[in-house]
Amino acid sequence: MALNNLPPQPPMSSEAEAYAAWCVAQTAQAQARTRHILDISYGPGDWQKLDLYLPDTAPASAMLPTLLFMHGGYWTHGYKDWLGFMAPAFVSLPALFMSVDYRLAPASPYPAALDDCLSALAWAYHNVTAYGGDPQQLFVGGHSAGGHLAALMALQPALFIDRELPVDVITACFPVSGVYDLEGDIPQDRLQAFLPSHINPVKVSPVHHVAGNQTPFLLAVGERDFPVLYEQAHTMAAALRQASGPVELLEIPGADHFQMSQYGGDPAHIWVQRVQAWMTGDR
């Protein structure tokens, strides 16, 4: 699979390939009925682009909340085009929805992906006003590896300074089936591709950055998710509760790892409804 003139990626498991095909097909349907601007550059590279989805009728002066979402793929796979299917459920709020591409390992190991997510956040902060967004209402989230990147970014506000961002630029974080501890039972081929050998996994593990946290977190995990991610979601929620800021953990009955992402496009699903409530201040 190769999208938007990007190179094809190596084959994945049959379940992941089916998920990716579903996402691409559903995103095409979402784009047919949702106002959008594709391939906005937030950096100079081919991977440093985002897709922006907009409400149909909101004026440029609307000052709406914005959700930036990062795809999964264990840091080695994935495209922003996987997640456009989520947009209709959020632009109807109304809100802005952004699906973010970032550089992938092994060609671009850590910290490339994190740097790109920070750059996308900076682009949003400095530019959403022109599209009807409110830079004071920026929410971040992601599925799987994207959840890891969203959480890692939200828990390190010191990284915002170089990008001229306020330390409270992230209003809340919504990781879904995220990776929170890279010392856990993570597939070693993916971990070795993502993390250079000289970097301690603790440095890149969100669970080890919760001290003093002020960012609200809504975490979600499936009852039938990958066991290591199921366990890490509960561990992460417990760690966050020891720090400051609201924390909520949604465990979705019967849901597997890929269904957890797919539910993000269903406006009637509890996860979408809870995220919408958090974005409107009704949590």
Q: What is the pLDDT of residue 245?
A: 77
Residue 8 lies in a domain: no
Mean residue pLDDT across the chain: 94
User: How far is Cα 210 from Cα 242, in angstroms, rounded to an integer?
Assistant: 8
Report pLDDT for 281: 86
Domain span including residue 63:
19-280
Residue 172 is assigned to a structural domain of this protein: yes
Cα–Cα distances (Å) from 2 to 83, 145, 151, 159, 234, in that order, read 15, 19, 27, 32, 35
**10 located within any domain:** no
Q: What percent of the chain has pLDDT over 70?
A: 98
Kindly state the tokens that stand for 34: 């949702």
Residue 123 belongs to a domain: yes
- For residue 87, pLDDT over 70 is answered with yes
Least confident of 27-31, 98-102, 184-188: 184-188
Q: Which of 103-112, 114-123, 243-252 has the lowest mean pLDDT?
A: 243-252
With cut-offs at 50, 70 and 90, classify the pLDDT of residue 238. very high
Model confidence band, residue 112 (pLDDT cutoffs 50, 70, 90): very high
pLDDT score recorded for residue 61: 76
CB-facing half-sphere around the CA of 170: CA atoms within 13 A: 29
> According to the model, what pLDDT value does residue 128 have?
96
Whether the CB-CB separation of 82 and 258 falls below 8 Å is answered with no
Domain-located, residue 7: no
Question: Has residue 254 got a pLDDT over 90?
Answer: yes
Give per-residue pLDDT as tens, 176-215.
Answer: 999 999 998 888 888 999 999 999 999 999 999 999 999 9
| pLDDT-derived band at 4, boundaries 50, 70, 90 | low
What's the whole-number mean pLDDT along residues 56-73? 90
Say which CATH number the domain at 129 has: 3.40.50.1820
Q: Which helix (H) or strand (E) element contains residue 150?
A: helix 145-154
Among the listed residues 65, 143, 138, 67, the one whose alpha carbon sits nearest the alpha carbon of residue 98: 67
d(CA 211, CA 206): 10
In a domain, 155, yes or no: yes
> What is the band of 21 on the pLDDT scale with cuts at 50, 70, 90?
very high
Nearest Cα to 19, choosing from 256, 283, 281?
Answer: 256
The contacts of residue 154 (CB under 8 Å, 6+ apart) are 140, 170, 173, 215, 217
3-class DSSP state for residue 254? strand
In a domain, 3, yes or no: no
Q: Whose structure tokens read 């299917």?
A: 85
* Mean pLDDT confidence for 32-38: 96
How many domains, the chain?
1
> Averaged over 103-130, what is the pLDDT?
97
Q: Which of 24-28, 56-60, 262-266 has the lowest average pLDDT?
A: 56-60
Question: Distance between CA atoms of 183 and 191, rounded to whole angstroms?
Answer: 10
Helix axis angle for 112-127 and 145-154, nearest 10°, is 60
Bridge partners, residue 50, by sequence: 40, 100
Residues 132-190 pLDDT 10s? 999 999 999 999 999 999 999 999 999 998 889 999 999 999 999 999 999 988 888 88
Each residue of 6-19: pLDDT tens digit?
677 788 889 999 99
